[in-house]
């Protein structure tokens, strides 16, 4: 044991020495470092050293480092490292250097510089970026669109809007950029401009995923005012837009959405009725109960199933008759869904009614109620369960004994 302790002490001391040595090799940034790093970039130092200098300047670089970094933007091996060093420098000279490089580069190096301009959100670059939207190089044009989306100035928006209806092969990239720009505007308080852009995008000839995203964002951003737009999608044939509208329903005032969905529920095809009913359950507004109960009692199987599942989220005593009848019915899928909802309902009043019903029931319903008493842990049912433990039906007696283990007090 003493030997092991001695070894441990030696190892620990060695680790501490190595750690302190490593720290000595990597001193914290000091004002003088920048001059040394710039000197490395301007020397014939190895490629690795210059790359590391660029990375270091990303942390401590100032306007003094911009000229040296800018000269490397045309270097095929170091251009990306130079951009890495330039991007964080808090000085407009870095923006000027990147803009100047736009006319000197092509291909991947040009795409990289465009990306850096986008990251810095340089508004003075909007004009040259707008010109690059027309580049024959699809990657360059797409990068220009993305950068304009991040800049998100009014001038940048004009460039993007003009490109939405232009080259078909660029529409997806421009639409992505429009979504980015609108999100930027929302974050910066430009709600009206964002809504205008979303509205244009959802009506544009762009891939559906962009129109769906724009629809979602429009409804959410409008809040209660977006309810009409949501309702409008319910009757449309497009399944994706319909589902997007239902997704957005969770972001609007529950009472208003519930009322609007209930008003249109009966006019929808069964598949859509089922989806709407599930949304009503998610919203949890008690006002949905009458409509959901009606759907649970009769109608297409898929609609009844959805309604029965949702009743478990709307714990009301008035739902018990429908659920109990269905749970002992002949349709197995509906019966299983009803049993799950009966277990799921969180309500002391439901427990009270189930306990009272236990003493009055017979046959299948009695066995179901005994099971529910155990599954829900209804302590008020314990006295009745004690009596049922001697029931003439072995299944009822055995289930009552099992339920007592979950309902008996301490």
Q: Token digits for 39?
A: 């000197």
> Options 1.10.10.10, 3.10.110.10, 3.40.50.11540, 1.25.10.10; which CATH number does 267-346 get?
1.25.10.10
Q: What confidence score (pLDDT) does residue 166 get?
A: 80
Quick check: 342 pLDDT over 70? Answer: yes
The secondary structure of the chain, three-state, reads: CHHHHHHHHHHHHHHHHHHHHHHHHCCCCCCCHHHHHHHHHCCCCCHHHHHHHHHHHHHHCCHHHHHHHHHHHHCCCCHHHHHHHHCCCCCHHHHHHHHHHCCCCCHHHHHHHHHHHHHHCCHHHHHHHHHHCCCCCHHHHHHHHHHHHHHCCHHHHHHHHHHHCCCHHHHHHHHHHHHHHHHHHHHCCCHHHHHHHHHHHHHCCCCHHHHHHHHHHHHHHHHHHHHHHHHHHHCCCCHHHHHHHHHHHCCCCHHHHHHHHHHHHCCCCHHHHHHHHHHHHHHCCHHHHHHHHHHHHCCCHHHHHHHHHHHCCCCCHHHHHHHHHHHCCCCHHHHHHHHHHHHHCCCHHHHHHHHHHHCCCCHHHHHHHHHHHHHHCCHHHHHHHHHHCCCCCHHHHHHHHHHHHHHCCC
Q: What is the pTM of this model?
A: 0.76
Angle 357-359-362 from CA coordinates, rounded to 5°:
85
Residue in the block written with tokens 């277990």: 343
Are 165 and 146 in contact by the 8 Å Cβ rule? The answer is: no
List the one residue out of 192, 100, 203 whose CA is nearest residue 154: 192
Q: What confidence score (pLDDT) does residue 408 get?
A: 67
What's the average model confidence in pLDDT over 50-77? Answer: 95
What's the average model confidence in pLDDT over 109-126? Answer: 97
Q: What confidence score (pLDDT) does residue 11 get?
A: 34
Quick check: 393 pLDDT over 80? Answer: yes
How confident is the model over 188-198, as pLDDT tens digits? 999 999 999 99
Domain ranges of the chain: 267-346, 358-410
Q: Token digits for 13?
A: 């001391």
Q: What confidence score (pLDDT) does residue 4 get?
A: 33
Are 173 and 146 in contact by the 8 Å Cβ rule? The answer is: yes
Averaged pLDDT of the chain: 89
Percent of the chain predicted with pLDDT > 70: 91
pLDDT band at 279 (very low <50, low <70, confident <90, very high): very high
Please state the separation of Cα 149 from the chain's center in Å. 20
| Least confident among 82-91, 137-146, 236-245 | 236-245
């Amino acid at each position: 044991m003493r030997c092991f302790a001695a070894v441990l002490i030696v190892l620990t001391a060695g680790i501490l020495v190595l750690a302190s040595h490593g720290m000595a090799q990597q001193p914290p940034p000091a004002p003088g470092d920048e001059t040394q790093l710039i000197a490395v970039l301007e020397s014939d130092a190895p490629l690795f050293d210059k790359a590391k200098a660029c990375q270091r300047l990303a942390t401590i670089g100032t306007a003094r480092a911009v000229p040296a970094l800018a000269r490397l933007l045309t270097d095929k091996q170091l251009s990306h490292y130079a951009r890495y060093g330039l991007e964080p420098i808090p000085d407009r000279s870095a923006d000027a250097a990147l803009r100047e490089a736009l006319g000197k580069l092509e291909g991947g190096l040009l795409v990289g510089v465009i990306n850096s301009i986008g990251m810095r959100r340089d508004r003075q670059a909007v004009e040259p970026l707008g010109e690059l939207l027309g580049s024959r190089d699809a990657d360059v044009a797409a990068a220009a669109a993305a950068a304009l989306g991040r800049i998100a100035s009014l001038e940048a928006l004009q460039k993007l809007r003009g490109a939405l209806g232009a080259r078909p092969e660029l529409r997806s990239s421009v639409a992505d950029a429009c979504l980015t720009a609108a999100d930027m505007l929302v974050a910066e308080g430009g709600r009206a401009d964002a809504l205008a852009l979303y509205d244009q995008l959802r009506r544009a000839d762009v891939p559906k995923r962009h129109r769906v995203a724009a629809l979602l964002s429009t409804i959410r951003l409008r809040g209660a005012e977006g309810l009409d737009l949501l309702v409008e999608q319910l009757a449309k044939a497009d399944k994706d837009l319909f589902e997007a509208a239902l997704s957005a329903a969770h972001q609007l005032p529950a009472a208003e959405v519930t009322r609007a969905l209930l008003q249109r529920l009966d006019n929808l095809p069964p598949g859509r009725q089922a989806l709407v009913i599930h949304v009503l359950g998610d919203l949890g507004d008690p006002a949905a109960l009458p409509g959901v109960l009606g759907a649970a009692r009769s109608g297409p199987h898929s609609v009844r199933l959805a309604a029965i599942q949702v009743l478990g989220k709307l714990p009301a005593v008035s739902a018990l008759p429908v659920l109990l009848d269905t749970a002992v019915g002949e349709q197995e899928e509906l019966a299983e869904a009803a049993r799950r909802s009966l277990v799921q309902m969180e309500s002391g009043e439901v427990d009270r009614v189930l306990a009272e019903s236990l003493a009055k029931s017979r046959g299948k319903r009695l066995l179901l109620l005994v099971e529910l008493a155990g599954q829900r842990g209804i302590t008020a049912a314990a006295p009745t369960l004690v009596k049922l433990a001697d029931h003439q039906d072995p299944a009822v007696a055995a289930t009552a004994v099992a339920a007592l283990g979950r309902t008996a007090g301490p």
